[in-house]
Structure 1
């Protein structure tokens, strides 16, 4: 387990699940862990996994964006619209206590974006934020702004749920069943499609190397003041 440190808290548990974890089972476990963290009965958690093919609906999902439900559709309870999860996509669930890290949801989302962007940079992928569009963006082979990673979070009792997903090498045609994140004019891409083939272990190592800076950002009072 990588050493993830904070000046205020013990390191979160860092968990990597092998194989494919069914989405409903992961959702139930994540929600139980968040309740335990809120009650001071468990440590925080950073959980990396992959799901079988599934479409998940956020709280602002528009039924018109579900154009071809070829896979199960599950209500996720997070913010955002429809997204796809499946093999070849790294999903990161973050159960972190913002009571101790600063009650600033905007800061949290910004920090998650920065963490993933930094990890992708270590793999030679130049990613960036796009004004007005939450998520992780890059330029595809045609020079278009394309989404390589999605972010969707929920905060309950100031404990975070859900997190991010990054397209390492999924079947991008599976995104065709939805309008991803409700943005019809912007394609999705992956590390493989960008000519940066990467295995999950290598991507996880990049995430782990950038995790201390991510948590330090959350722990810095100057970053959390509103």
Structure 2
């Protein structure tokens, strides 16, 4: 356990069940709001699971081969599983400008900067939340973002494909976008493992945190 700019930086080994992570995140958010705990950046992996955001469409669930859980984050269906880095963000926007759009933009920029360190040119796509790349072929999604903000405390966060089984995404229409494939660092030949990606995230984190204070 360590910290970055006073925020707890936690990396959980192994696979953390989704319900356990959700309960922990909710409890931490309540404690942050009450002034009883520090903000948290929590890195983990989940066992295979499909999660449905608040705008998920039933037709996007094609083959529910893994458990399906409705969740309070924004977005549609996504997959989580081994080899994918999940980052839950419990941050207090009361002290950072109260701007949800700025927050999402900053999260996107953080992931793009981390991927750049690993040799992957990633970018935002107008009208499509998430992280995209054209490295190695057609435009594909390498990272998903789904957040919730309650009383200006953030919950949920992001998922980046380091080396998951990409066939597992075939059970859903990822993020409701049937015309775009998903990819991973491993598929692009740049997989140094979760620890390597975590180090890139940590190096880029101070700039990310500074960017949360958007000008009015």
Residue 149 of structure 1: which of 143, 147, 157 is its match? 143
Consecutive unaligned residues in structure 1, runs of 5 or more? 6-10
For the residue of structure 1 that corresponds to 2:110, the secondary structure is helix
For the residue of structure 2 that corresponds to 1:206, the secondary structure is helix
Are residues 1:199 and 2:193 paired?
Answer: yes
CA distance in 2: counterparts of 1:209 and 1:197, whole angstroms: 17
Q: Deviations over 1:58-94 (max 9, x none)?
A: 0000011000000000111100000000000000000
Contact conserved, 2:2 with 2:8, CA < 8 A, in 1?
A: no
Residue 182 of structure 1: which of 176, 179, 186 is its match? 176
| CA RMSD of superposed structures (Å) | 1.0
Consecutive unaligned residues in structure 2, runs of 5 or more? none
Partner of 1:66: 61
Q: Deviations over 1:160-180 (max 9, x none)?
A: 000000000000000000000
Contact conserved, 2:120 with 2:135, CA < 8 A, in 1?
A: no
Residue 204 of structure 2: which of 210, 216, 226 is its match? 210
Aligned structure 1 segments of 4 or more residues deviating by more than 6 angstroms: none
Contact conserved, 2:28 with 2:90, CA < 8 A, in 1?
A: yes
CA distance in 2: counterparts of 1:76 and 1:198, whole angstroms: 31
Contact conserved, 1:135 with 1:147, CA < 8 A, in 2?
A: yes
Residue 103 of structure 2: which of 105, 108, 114 is its match? 108
For the residue of structure 1 that corresponds to 2:13, the secondary structure is strand
Residue 94 of structure 2: which of 99, 117, 123 is its match? 99
TM-score, normalised by the number of residues in structure 1? 0.93
Deviation at 1:140, TM superposition (A): 4.5
Total equivalences in the alignment: 216
Q: Deviations over 1:128-148 (max 9, x none)?
A: 000110000001533x11000
